Structure 1
């Protein structure tokens, strides 16, 4: 159960918050949007609205000191420190620069944003922990630590990789090549991650270093 729940819930981040809402790489009817919102809530990262806002700021200021996940400061910063440190002094100004009207017109996204404080603990923790105890006779101790704590931690770190994977997949923090360099089309390991920052609307670009592969891409194609 933890594995299946983790994989399915990550669709809310990859196919949902990232490819659908942040970059509009495809369109989706309300049943699919509702499913992806539920999946995203199960991850327990933050609301889709806030996730997209952060990600659009990340793209706008990619590789600069104002990038909330600046890869040039290394994997530890991009993956973890950036999540807990004080926001950039110009954060409020950055937020005003980002057009979020598309998400504000999506009633499902805004419902999640408004009631995230309630939806997250119920969908991310209470229901997943209770199910093994209620239906499969698992002990509350095992369910809490395996389905609750372990699954949540692993899934959360996989979700964070969407922001920090550019370091993992081969961009050297000292690399001076910018995201608008034509060298990206060589598509070597060093420059491949830059492709997403040139063409963010390509739904084939995987979050974990792949292209045209992966569960999220397959789901979108279907």
Structure 2
């Protein structure tokens, strides 16, 4: 298990990050309480994505003999393994609609734009994501207790077939990297059988 990291941003190559612009909506936020704030500019005609993880922590299968040993198990012949995961108490995932949109994002204790938080009246500040994004694919969550309950990023690997290894030549020594091949990760959640459970946004 790795150490807890600072807020992590992962984005497509054509996405540009910049400082947040002060607009009427943004000015209503308590920017002093924001632990993260940024703007992302997407390129027209191209599908772009941004993933922001709040204080993520990585868990992974350590390098060594583990992957080599379980590769011998025929029960895993048609199975996939998750070799690395990032867990976090909050994440923000946005997929653009190719319209060159500019998206503002902030992690703030004041998410209400119409009713200010009145702590003296017994109302507690609730930390959450604020965004002006309007898109078909937008997912965000934040655990108020700070529990590491979300896994927005992981590495998925597939067992290399025996017949492919056979014709590579005996002089090539097998390593964990060629015993297990990286696979594209699914966008939708997985069910108990490891298959995508497609979510249809209304």
Judge same fold: TM > 0.5, yes or no: no
Question: Which of structures 1 and 2 has the bigger CA Rg?
Answer: 2
Q: In which range does the TM-score fall when normalised by the shorter chain? A: under 0.3
Which has a greater percent of strand?
Answer: 2
Which has a greater percent of helix?
Answer: 1
Tell me the TM-score normalised to structure 1 length.
0.26
Tell me the TM-score normalised to structure 2 length.
0.28
